[in-house]
């Protein structure tokens, strides 16, 4: 594959999983600009797109068998530009949410198409490296644009949404460099006889949960900093960028560390995220928050590509696009539910403090890491005993 094609596919990464979060620096400003709007709706400016990803996500596989994938990506990027920058020109909160919904529909076209092209054209270690690089590009690209968004936030919330205009460059790259990947040709009889392995659904649920926990950062950080008197309006952008720098490093490290830690890498990442949430639950300074979100991003940066790697391992190639769509559906649905998750934990703990939510998440992640590690050790012991027998 030509370097220009590889670069284009990697550059598309920033539009997908973390593209919805680039509105995070605008959350506090929108709450001030629309004081009569419920705080939950304001938070959904970040995550509403995740809900609207689902309709197009599940037709992307069918479209990929009828139209060249390049055409699908061009259509998705045009919709992405409209949905991303549209809120900058909106005069009502309802119209802002409409544009955020359009953004979600566009990502539902782009994400599975891009991930399927990577899975189809790379195998083994090369696929693992591409998934890791894709997550890294997503992280560093998001960090750059969130930092810019944080600085732009000082001029007003409308300007934050103009940062989505970077997708114009991606559109030009797709037009110029991406070949006309033909529609996927599959044997309908074989395809209909193939069933998704049950383990995929476990991978999808796990992928959705850890993505939701990471989403707690961009959706809650603005109000958390404001309520606790930490930093300023611009702090949200660069602190979320710290989380995405962690994602960048985690994505680069996942392939070599998988060879070193093997199955122990998952509980290690869960422990990293747990320590990050524990740290932010007691943070009182900007730099403590920065370290906390970096650790959370580092763990997510390795867990996210591991989800794609495992999906590609267990799903037959002919239905891989559908398998990826199931994984992404879980990720985006859980991201959308993130604000509701926070409200649920607050009700359960009888608190309205985000600190308490972060502490509860830290405890749950630590417990999950211990349980996972115990299962790995029991399976290892069982295999040794069966071998000796």
CA–CA separation, 100 and 94 (whole Å): 10
Q: Is the separation of the CB atoms in 136 and 301 below 8 Å?
A: yes
Count how many domains the chain has: 1
What confidence score (pLDDT) does residue 189 get? 39
Domain of residue 159, CATH code? 1.20.1250.20
What confidence score (pLDDT) does residue 192 get? 45
Q: Is the separation of the CB atoms in 299 and 7 below 8 Å?
A: no
Write the CA distances from 244 to 78, 248, 374, integer angstroms. Answer: 25, 6, 30
- Residue 253: how many other CB atoms lie within 10 Å: 17
What confidence score (pLDDT) does residue 10 get? 87
- In 3D space, the residue among 93, 311, 292 whose CA is nearest the CA of residue 206 turns out to be 311
What confidence score (pLDDT) does residue 184 get? 65
Best-predicted range by mean pLDDT (73-87, 195-209, 253-267): 73-87
Best-predicted range by mean pLDDT (135-139, 293-297, 371-375, 376-380): 293-297
pTM of the model: 0.76
Domain containing 249 equals 3-180+189-388
Q: Is the separation of the CB atoms in 160 and 25 below 8 Å?
A: yes
Write the pLDDT tens digit of every residue in 160-169: 899 899 899 9
User: How does residue 55 score in pLDDT terms, banded at 50, 70 and 90?
Assistant: confident
Whether residue 188 is predicted with pLDDT greater than 50 in this model: the reply is no
Q: What is the mean pLDDT of residues 163-177?
A: 93
CA angle 152, 155, 157 (to 5 degrees): 75
CA–CA separation, 199 and 188 (whole Å): 24
Lowest mean pLDDT among 93-97, 231-235, 320-324: 231-235
Q: What is the mean pLDDT of residues 284-311?
A: 92
Q: What is the DSSP letter of 253?
A: H
Write the pLDDT tens digit of every residue in 269-282: 999 999 999 999 99
CA–CA separation, 47 and 12 (whole Å): 20
Whether residue 144 is predicted with pLDDT greater than 50 in this model: the reply is yes
Lowest mean pLDDT among 151-155, 178-182, 362-366, 384-388: 384-388
Q: How many CA atoms lie within 13 A of 26 on its CB side?
A: 32
Write the pLDDT tens digit of every residue in 327-373: 988 988 888 788 889 889 989 988 878 899 999 999 999 999 999 98
Helix 338-349 and helix 320-336: axis angle, to 10°?
A: 50
Four-point Cα dihedral 81, 85, 87, 91, nearest 10: -110
Whether residue 222 is predicted with pLDDT greater than 80 in this model: the reply is no
What confidence score (pLDDT) does residue 5 get? 87
Higher pLDDT, 121 or 70: 70
Higher pLDDT, 357 or 187: 357
Q: Is the separation of the CB atoms in 251 and 132 below 8 Å?
A: yes
CA–CA separation, 97 and 113 (whole Å): 25
The alpha-helical segments, DSSP class H, found in the chain are: 3-11, 27-33, 39-57, 60-64, 69-85, 93-121, 124-152, 157-161, 167-177, 188-193, 198-227, 235-261, 265-281, 286-314, 320-336, 338-349, 354-388
**What b-and-e string marks burial along 135-174, b requiring 16 or more CB atoms within 10 Å of the CB?**
bbbbbbbbbbbbbbbbbbbeeebbbbbbbbebbeebbebb
Q: What is the mean pLDDT of residues 141-152?
A: 73
């Amino acid at each position: 594959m030509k370097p220009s094609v590889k670069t284009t596919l990697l550059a598309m990464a920033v539009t997908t999983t973390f593209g919805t979060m680039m509105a995070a620096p605008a959350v506090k400003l929108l709450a001030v600009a629309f004081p009569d709007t419920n705080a939950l709706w304001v938070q959904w400016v970040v995550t509403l797109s995740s809900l609207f990803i689902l309709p197009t996500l599940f037709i992307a596989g069918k479209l990929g068998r009828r139209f060249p994938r390049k055409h699908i990506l061009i259509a998705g990027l045009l919709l992405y530009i409209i949905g991303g920058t549209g809120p900058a020109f909106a005069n009502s909160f309802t119209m802002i949410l409409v544009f955020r919904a359009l953004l979600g529909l566009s990502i539902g076209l782009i994400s599975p198409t891009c991930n399927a092209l990577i899975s189809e054209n790379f195998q083994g270690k090369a696929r693992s490296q591409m998934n890791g690089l894709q997550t890294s590009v997503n992280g560093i690209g998001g960090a750059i644009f969130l930092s810019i968004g944080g600085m732009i936030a000082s001029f007003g919330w409308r300007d934050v949404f103009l940062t989505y205009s970077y997708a114009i460059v991606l559109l030009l790259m797709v037009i110029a460099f991406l070949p006309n990947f033909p529609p996927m040709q599959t044997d309908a009889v074989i395809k209909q006889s193939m069933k998704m392995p049950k383990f995929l659904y476990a991978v999808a649920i796990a992928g959705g949960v850890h993505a939701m926990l990471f989403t707690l950062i961009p959706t809650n950080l603005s109000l958390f900093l404001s309520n606790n008197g930490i930093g300023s309006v611009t702090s949200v952008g660069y602190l979320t960028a710290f989380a995405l720098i962690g994602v960048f490093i985690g994505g680069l490290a996942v392939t070599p560390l998988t060879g070193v830690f093997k199955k122990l890498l998952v509980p290690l990442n869960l422990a990293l995220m747990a320590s990050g949430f524990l740290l932010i639950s007691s943070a009182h300074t900007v730099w403590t928050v920065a370290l906390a979100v970096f650790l959370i991003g580092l763990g997510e940066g390795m867990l996210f590509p591991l989800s794609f790697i495992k999906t590609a391992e267990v799903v037959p190639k002919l239905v891989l696009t559908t398998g990826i769509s199931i994984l992404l559906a879980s990720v985006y649905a859980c991201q959308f539910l993130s604000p509701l998750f926070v409200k649920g934990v607050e009700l359960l703990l009888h608190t309205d403090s985000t600190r308490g939510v972060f502490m509860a998440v830290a405890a749950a992640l630590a417990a999950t890491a211990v349980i996972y590690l115990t299962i790995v050790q029991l399976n290892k012991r069982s295999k040794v005993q069966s071998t000796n027998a």
